[in-house]
Structure 1
Amino acid sequence: MAKKQHEDVVRKLYEARKRRDFARAAELLAEEVVWHEPGDFDYSGDYRGRQATASYLAKLAEVTEGTFLLEPQEMISTEEHVATVVRWSAGRGGSRAAGKELAVYRFADGKVGEVWFFTEHDDDEVAEVFSFGR
């Protein structure tokens, strides 16, 4: 698959998340996808498998009351990876959080096979807005 096609898959994933179409988001993920969320938050850790990852993405939208907005900026691609800078914001119950991240997507057979995030944000704001209530 060409680098441009990988970038298109990443864009489609962000578009599906914006529409809260998590079935479509799941279609863009490899069956054995691994989604790595950094940090020490309720949502941190590794999500393994298409359905677990899609459910996690839906949970992020739910806990942020549908306010989670992701805006991918420029993308850089290789034959196997796409890296994109993403600006994001979310709110919940009057609290707000915003930041940016570098998201790195590895592809497997034309689908997202693995994802890593390198984030810049206020930890206290993120903990409040994205709490899963564990």
Structure 2
Amino acid sequence: MGAQEDVALVRRGYEAFSAGDMDALRELFTEDAVWHTGGTGGLSGQKKGVGEILAYFGELFSRSQGTLKLTLDDVAAGDRYTIGVQSGHAERHGKSLDQRTVIVFTISGGKVSEALEMAEDTAQASDFWS
């Protein structure tokens, strides 16, 4: 796959995530994909395998009572990585979180095999989601 296809894959992922379409998301990851979430909060760390990754996504929706909204601000592909820059908003326990996040995707064979998620303010994000 080339850069254009990788960008299209990431865009499809954001569309599926925003729609809550876990079946479509499942198709975009390799079975052994790994998702790394920065910080020290309850949702930080590695999620290994598509099942754990989708459970993490579900937990984001659950903890925010469905208020989580992501907007893909930009996406760019290079030789090794495809980078997504997103703006997000969520509400939880009377607090709100508005941050940009960068996700570095590794795409292999037309599917995401690894993702590294880095929030604008990792401490604030960790506190919010814990």
Structure 2-normalised TM-score?
0.92
Q: Is 1:118 aligned with 2:99?
A: no
Q: Does the Cα contact within 8 Å between 1:75 and 1:83 map onto a contact in 2?
A: yes
The 3-state SS of whatever aligns with 2:17 is helix
Moved more, 19-28 or 77-86: 77-86
Residue by residue over 1:43-81, the C-alpha shift from the partner in whole angstroms, topping out at 9 and shown as x without a partner, is 000000011111111111111111111111122212332
The 3-state SS of whatever aligns with 1:74 is strand
List 4+ stretches of structure 1 deviating above 6 A: none
1:7-46 mapped onto 2 (5 Å cutoff): 7-46=7-46
1:1-134 mapped onto 2 (5 Å cutoff): 1-121=1-121, 123-124=123-124, 126-128=126-128, 130-131=129-130
Q: How large is the RMSD of aligned CA atoms in angstroms?
A: 1.5
How many residues are aligned here? 130
The 3-state SS of whatever aligns with 1:107 is strand
Deviation at 1:7, TM superposition (A): 0.8
Q: Distance in 2 between matches of 1:117 and 1:56?
A: 12
Deviation at 1:102, TM superposition (A): 1.5
